[in-house]
Amino acid sequence: MRYALPLTPMIAVLIVRPLLGLSPKRLILAGWLAVLLCEPAWASLQIRIMLSGSDTRTQLRQWLLLQYPEGARILPSSEIAGNLGLLSPAPLYVRQKRFSDRFDLNHLIRAYELLSQRTDLPPLYLTWNPATAEAYAATRPEQATGSALILSYVHPLCPPNKALAALDQAGRINWLERFSPGDPAQAVFDPVDWNFLPVAGWGAQEQTGPDIHLGKLALCVNNPLPTSQEFFTLLHHLMAGKVAVAAEDWPGTLRYYEPLLKLPYFLPEVLPDFYAYGVYLDAGRAYHGLGRYEKALACWQEAAGLDPEKGEVHHLMGVAYSALGQDAPAVQEYLQAIALQTPDPGVYYNLGLSLVRLNRLEEAVAAFETCVARKPDADAYVNLGVLYDSAGQSERARTCFSKALALAPDHPQAAAMRQELQAKP
């Protein structure tokens, strides 16, 4: 209804005009209609006045730009309300998705490269969520090495944030400022309207926007904040690295990703979790592809720290341990990957190899059997045949070598082993 209010004068004219010619009582009809239209006309006037006035979010944005011109960590109580129009990663990633849908990845890489060269960019504000803030909040003043600004939105449309309420009750938030629109509790709002513009009860509201309480939370984080230019440079390297990974250009991957790994920033607050996870995962692949197994393991351990429930990274950590000759921890990582239901059947093959080197042959047989049952593989059949032969099961060994040759007719070891078995009496 609100969005039709600006049309009220035109609607009144269109309705009154034909009624005036119906009877001598047209003045009464016109007067009755005028009374009927008074309320929406008044509502339209009030809405115009409020929309042309100030807003608490505009006041807060101006305060932030004045007090923190180099950027800051901010923690809003609501992720969907109270958009301040600041440069921050989350809204940018939404626009990145739209850009990517229309253009290709190379255009996105070029766009970030051009942005990284600009010197007139606004400051960058990093958005935290309350759950992360709870994990890093300083419990004692001497622990504090950084801080985040709390933006608490108090409004009938905004449900209270339990995590912030808990931090406040613990006395960890130092309240600094308040930007109030009046008394929103006495006004009436449309529940889908994030303009915080009342549909009734205008007398209780002086301006639009939520009632914003601004405070500061001490954090145990001492990483510096990137500038806007540094942030876009980071995104340029991230996207260019993705192209190198897709081409399995491992030196090219490290050319873009190694600078990211050396940055002093706290990557999870600058990049979404899946991006930060991907950087460590793909950098590890590049290091492994170049034979730098210790570096690969370190990257994959960082990735596992970001998402320990991903079986893929535990499988890769097992591969790195195996390459370093550490089969016992490799087996533990492979088993963890299996427990997390990694879809790659290669984890059973790699598990079997490590178990053979540890002389745990019965377990190795079970691993190779599971591997070929999930996805027939010539190398797995050969290893399984060798184990069967060493256990005196010649017929089963011959079957494995035959299946290996059916999958890979030129497999030298399978042909040699089958010939050797056939030569036995």
Q: pLDDT (tens digit, 9 = 90+) per residue, 27-46?
A: 666 666 666 667 677 777 77
- State the average pLDDT for the chain: 86
Residue 244: the pLDDT is 96
Q: Which two tokens stand for residue 61?
A: 């944005």
* pLDDT band at residue 223 under the 50/70/90 scheme: confident
Contacts of 216 (CB under 8 A, 6+ apart): 147, 148, 149, 150, 173, 174, 176
Between 288 and 142, the higher pLDDT residue: 288
Q: pLDDT (tens digit, 9 = 90+) per residue, 234-248?
A: 999 999 999 999 999
Parallel/antiparallel/unpaired status of strands 125-127 and 72-76:
parallel
In order of 179, 199, 219, the CA distances from 44 in angstroms are 25, 9, 46
Between 364 and 193, the higher pLDDT residue: 364
What's the CA gap between 147 and 77, in Å, rounded? Answer: 16
Contacts of 134 (CB under 8 A, 6+ apart): 163, 166, 167
Residue 271: the pLDDT is 86
Between 128 and 118, the higher pLDDT residue: 118
Lowest mean pLDDT among 71-80, 286-295, 319-328: 71-80
**Listed ranges 132-146, 287-301, 340-354; the one with the highest mean pLDDT:** 287-301
Residue 277: the pLDDT is 92
Quote the pTM value: 0.79
What's the CA gap between 180 and 207, in Å, rounded? Answer: 8
In order of 11, 43, 130, 225, the CA distances from 6 in angstroms are 10, 9, 40, 45
Lowest mean pLDDT among 130-144, 164-178, 211-225, 340-354: 130-144
Long-range contacts at 244-248 (CB < 8 A, ≥ 24 apart): 245/282, 245/285, 245/286, 248/289
* pLDDT reading at 341 higher than 60: yes
Parallel/antiparallel/unpaired status of strands 188-189 and 198-200:
antiparallel
Residue 156: the pLDDT is 85
What's the CA gap between 28 and 23, in Å, rounded? Answer: 10
Q: pLDDT (tens digit, 9 = 90+) per residue, 44-79?
A: 777 788 888 888 989 999 999 999 999 999 988 877
